[in-house]
Amino acid sequence: MDYLKELAGRANLIATWEAWSPAYRILAVAVGLAFAYWALRVLIPAVLGVLRPVLLVAFALAAVWALFPEATCSIEFISKLPAICAR
């Protein structure tokens, strides 16, 4: 860890944001926004692909709860959720 701190100190990466020049600030913000955009474009379809079955079950359960709230609250693990089955 000390080695990484030494390298960061030599590269002047420990300096505060105010010590950076405006050109480096703009570059850092632009690179951060580009990385965030890329990460969202890659991760959201993958996450939605993995969570699609969970979302379908949640949607079906919400539809059943809207039609039959008492019957849905009789299910043991759902009855423990206070936001859904307030007594």
pLDDT by 10-residue block (mean), the chain, 87 residues:
74 69 85 92 86 87 80 74 67
Q: What is the pLDDT of residue 14?
A: 61
* Tokens 């709860």 found at: 65
Q: What is the pLDDT of residue 13?
A: 62
Residue 9: CB atoms within 10 Å? 11
In a domain? residue 26: yes
pTM > 0.85 = no
Q: What is the pLDDT of residue 86?
A: 66
In a domain? residue 59: yes
Two tokens, residue 14: 């420990």
Q: What is the pLDDT of residue 33?
A: 93
Q: What is the pLDDT of residue 66?
A: 79
**Counted domains in the chain:** 1
Which domain covers residue 17, as residue numbers?
Answer: 2-79
Q: Which of 59, 58, 65 has its CA nearest to residue 79?
A: 65
In a domain? residue 9: yes
In a domain? residue 87: no
